[in-house]
Structure 1
Amino acid sequence: MAEILFPALFLLLALGLPVAFAMAISVFAAITLASNYPPLVVVKEMFAGLDSFPLLAVPFFILASEIMTGGAVTHAILRLAQAFVGHLRGGLGHANVISSAMFAGISGSALADAAGPGTMMIRMMEKGGYDRPYASALTIASAVVGPIIPPSITMIIYAMQDQNVSVGSLFMAGILPGLLITATVLVANANMSKRRNYASGEQRPGWMEIGRVALFALPALTLIVLIVGGIRFGVFTPTEASVIAVFYALFIGMFVYRSLRLRDLPGIILRAALTSGAVLLILGAARAFAWVLIIENVPQFLAETIISWDLAPVAFLLAVNLLLIIFGLFMDPLPGVMILVPILAPISFALGIDPNHFAIIVIVNLTLGLTTPPVGSLIFVVSSTVGLKPSTLIREMPPFFLALATALLLITFVPFLSTWLPTISGF
């Protein structure tokens, strides 16, 4: 079946079919043309991939993100980021990057970061004298932290594939790598702003003003502390945390910021349902795809081949980085996690690599695939919102590719970044 599965998948992706449909159709074709299994097994495996209690956290976190992204919450985060760095050279660009890091603690999604505060910051940067393609490329790079700083939908899916990690440990493991990525993109923006003379026209605010803006943004930023702290101290499970996040978002939206009205809820719920449906469809199709690979003994063959190479841990991590970068060119992070983690995670564990460290390497690698053609979802989301061709944005990306690659290498070869917080937190 594999001889039909992979060519069919790449052909459908090349034709521009969405990833979920490409995987499901290729599985159906492989089973119909090269096996004795009934086609109904595709539906059965897709349903089995979704029949999981921890997976309930995904639609609830998406709903919480939709509630929090509107109106005053987004403005509060942007104002706080501007208050801290808006007066520096390239200050609006810095504010873009920092607001993405703050918003990552609410959305858990790179695409939500880019489509929400990222789009608003592009308009603000353009008014401030920045080139629109540069502002858009910066938004693409800064949105990468969305699935890395907790809460993260990708981490929830990863924990379901690897029994050596938990959602709580991955949430803690992602904090320092997420901040490192933010720092490298800030350095890239500072360098480019100096070259292009993107000066700031804003005055440095006083401490009283900064304190007032920070106080206004505090209820929104408290969500990440509530989620990570609650999971760490055993107050609630990740699935329960997602439900609490929804009620907390409703509370601050309606009674603290007063920007959320009852008549807004049907539209918010509809958007969250559509996004959740798309995510869950990808997960179901990835489960069916992975099932065919298992039936064909592909994971076992790859695992035995890699083990036979007798690689040192460092060489193995370099090989994994290369494999995941190539894989990320053609596949989104969620199906990548479901297909590759069951193959690679046991090998890394046998080599003595910390499971949380390896998990962050995988998640960062696959998330970087969102910024690279030909499938890079972030490129197409941002290009559609700003009215520019994807090729125009790609030409602005090299400085940020270099920054992200530097962060990836540091995360790969400095395990402390991914292991320290889970260790001191007792995971």
Structure 2
Amino acid sequence: MIAILFCSFFVLLVIGVPVAFSMAIAAALAVYFGSSYPLIVVVKEMFSGLDSFPLMAVPFFILAAELMSGGAMTTILLRFASQFVGHLRGGLGYANVLSSTMFAGISGSALADAAGPGAMMVRMMEKGGYDKPYAGALTASAAVIGPIIPPSIIMILYAMQVEEVSVGALFMAGILPGLLIMLMLCAANWYICRKRGYRSTEPRPGAREMLRTTLYALPALFLIVIIIGGIRTGIFTPTEASVVAVFYALLCGMFVYRSLKLRHLPDIIYRAALVSIAVLIILAAARAFAWVLIIQSVPQTLAAVIVSWELSPIVFLLAINVLLLAFGLFMDPLPGVMVLVPILAPIAHSLGIDPVHFAIVVIVNLTLGLITPPVGSLLFVVSSAVKLRVTELVGEMPPFFIAHVIVLLILTFVPAVSTWLPHISGF
């Protein structure tokens, strides 16, 4: 049954079948040809994978991100970030990373980050004299911060798989790693801009203009405070926070910034629905795929084998880094969480690794798959949005990928980067 599952899955991937359909079809073939279970059980497991109250947060956070983009708040955040660093050498590159970090605190999605402020920043950087492929590669790399800074869709899904961690704890745990990624990407941008001679043509804004821009951006930035503060104080759950985010984005766009009109809503809801459907189909298929693994006792067997090796926690984490980086070459983060986390998390727990620390290592690892070919979704989103070939983006990626790997190693060897904020916050 397992042989049928994996052989059919990889064959389907090789011939170009989308990941979600590859997992669902592989699970169906494994059940039909390799077991006595009725085929309807695959459909039942797919529906079970979506029958979850916390999962309702996913489409609402996606809708909130679309409302923020449609309500011109993306432009406001770009202007807010540019006023601090736009006048420096490589300033538009810094502004790109900073705006992606701020938008990450609103969207929870790397793809929304790249398609929204990221695409706008590529055009701005090109006008400012930067090579377009470099601007695109920096945009894709910065968008990886989207699933790390809370709110995060992938963190919600991870918490659904592992009882030892909560969504609130993971949200708090993602803040410092997200900021660390931001700093490393800024360092990479500094090095490349000095090497290539990219200079800023923007004048430094005056204090009065900076104050006015900051005050104008505060309502948009306050959404992050509402989400994190509301969850931390227990005013609402993460699912309820996603609904609050939708209504807050709607009110800001329509009444504070007055750039969101009623006629825009059908198109915004349509785009959010398409993205949500794509995500939910992946989750449903991943649930069926994981169910086949579970009934064949693959997680238990693998856990017993790895525990028998008596690896130290650090060696285990380094091995997991290699495994997940390789896994990310061929699969997106969401199915990765659904399929791999139920297998790996119990092993990490048996080795005494902090569950929050392990969660962040896994999440950061899997999100790097978004910028690694051949499947890297962010590469295709950015190339499509700004009319670049994927090969041009890939050629500019090595310095940024190195920056991400350095952050990953820091997270592996220094657990406090992930666990300190959740600890002092009471999670």
Shorter-chain TM-score range: over 0.9
Query: Which residue does the alignment assign to 2:167?
Result: 167
Distance 1:332 1:254 in 2: 35
What displacement does 1:71 show? 4.2
Query: Which residue does the alignment assign to 2:11?
Result: 11
Identify the range of structure 1 (211-220 vs 176-185) with the bigger mean alpha-carbon deviation: 211-220
Identify the range of structure 1 (362-371 vs 267-276) with the bigger mean alpha-carbon deviation: 267-276
Query: Which residue does the alignment assign to 1:352?
Result: 352
What displacement does 1:214 show? 1.1
Query: Which residue does the alignment assign to 1:61?
Result: 61
Q: Which segments of 5 or more consecutive residues in structure 2 lack a partner in the other structure?
A: none
Distance 1:279 1:64 in 2: 15
SS in 2 for 1:278: helix
Query: Which residue does the alignment assign to 1:334?
Result: 334
Amino acid at match of 2:105: G
What displacement does 1:300 show? 1.1
2:71/2:254 contact within 8 Å kept = no
Which deviations, in whole Å up to 9, do the C-alpha atoms of 1:177-209 show, x marking residues without a partner?
A: 000001000000010000110000111112221
SS in 2 for 1:145: coil
What displacement does 1:70 show? 1.9
Which deviations, in whole Å up to 9, do the C-alpha atoms of 1:115-140 show, x marking residues without a partner?
A: 11000000000000011110000011
Amino acid at match of 1:120: M
Which deviations, in whole Å up to 9, do the C-alpha atoms of 1:248-294 show, x marking residues without a partner?
A: 01110100010111111111111111111111110000000000001
Moved over 3 A (4+): none
Which deviations, in whole Å up to 9, do the C-alpha atoms of 1:123-182 show, x marking residues without a partner?
A: 000000011110000011110100000000000000000101000000000000000001
Query: Which residue does the alignment assign to 2:362?
Result: 362
Which deviations, in whole Å up to 9, do the C-alpha atoms of 1:363-399 show, x marking residues without a partner?
A: 0000001000111001111111222221111011111
Query: Which residue does the alignment assign to 1:205?
Result: 205
Query: Which residue does the alignment assign to 1:402?
Result: 402
Query: Which residue does the alignment assign to 1:86?
Result: 86
SS in 2 for 1:198: coil
Distance 1:15 1:212 in 2: 54
1:257 equivalenced with 2:260 (yes/no):
no
SS in 1 for 2:280: helix
Query: Which residue does the alignment assign to 2:320?
Result: 320
Amino acid at match of 1:167: V
Identify the range of structure 1 (258-267 vs 6-15) with the bigger mean alpha-carbon deviation: 6-15
Distance 1:350 1:278 in 2: 35
Distance 2:387 2:19 in 1: 24
Which deviations, in whole Å up to 9, do the C-alpha atoms of 1:82-114 show, x marking residues without a partner?
A: 101001100111110110000000110011111
SS in 2 for 1:199: coil
Query: Which residue does the alignment assign to 2:32?
Result: 32
Counterparts of 1:105-254 in structure 2, within 5 Å, are 105-254=105-254
Identify the range of structure 1 (33-42 vs 44-53) with the bigger mean alpha-carbon deviation: 33-42
Query: Which residue does the alignment assign to 2:292?
Result: 292
SS in 1 for 2:147: coil
How many residues of Structure 1 are paired with residues of Structure 2 in the alignment?
A: 427
TM-score if structure 1 supplies the norm length? Answer: 0.99
Amino acid at match of 1:189: N
Distance 2:349 2:237 in 1: 25
Identify the range of structure 1 (74-83 vs 204-213) with the bigger mean alpha-carbon deviation: 204-213
Amino acid at match of 1:186: C
What displacement does 1:347 show? 1.5
SS in 2 for 1:374: coil
Query: Which residue does the alignment assign to 1:382?
Result: 382
Distance 2:88 2:66 in 1: 31
Amino acid at match of 1:423: H
SS in 1 for 2:67: helix
* Identity over aligned pairs, percent: 70
Amino acid at match of 2:275: T
What displacement does 1:72 show? 2.1
SS in 2 for 1:395: helix
What displacement does 1:38 show? 1.4
2:70/2:268 contact within 8 Å kept = no
Query: Which residue does the alignment assign to 1:47?
Result: 47
- After superposition, the CA RMSD in angstroms is 0.8
Distance 1:225 1:350 in 2: 36
Query: Which residue does the alignment assign to 1:418?
Result: 418
SS in 1 for 2:412: helix
